[in-house]
Amino acid sequence: MFVYIIRSKVSGRIYVGHTRDIDMRLDYHNSGYVKATKFDRPWDLIAIEECEDRKAARWIEHQLKQSRGRRVKWIKNNSVV
């Protein structure tokens, strides 16, 4: 499982999620199949972290959505850029 953060090239909006297949999921976001992200396309992957299981990934995702400071620090530590 992976926890990931993507950023809209248009609006700069951030989206946090988790998935098993990061390439497929990013394609879904950029193709408009994800309701929450279809209006801010295209999206770039900016940070990713591999987790041992879905429970761990969901916990990290929850923590990142709760705190902007935690999210900024996590992005710095897990940046793909």
**What is the residue whose two structure tokens read 């396309």?**
41
Beta bridge partners of 50: 2
Position 68 pLDDT exceeds 80: yes
pTM reported for the whole predicted model: 0.93
E-only strand ranges, 1-81? 2-8, 14-19, 43-50
Give the chain's domains with CATH numbers: 2-78 (3.40.1440.10)
Once rounded to an integer, what is the mean pLDDT over residues 10-15?
96
| Confidence class for position 81, pLDDT limits 50, 70, 90 | low
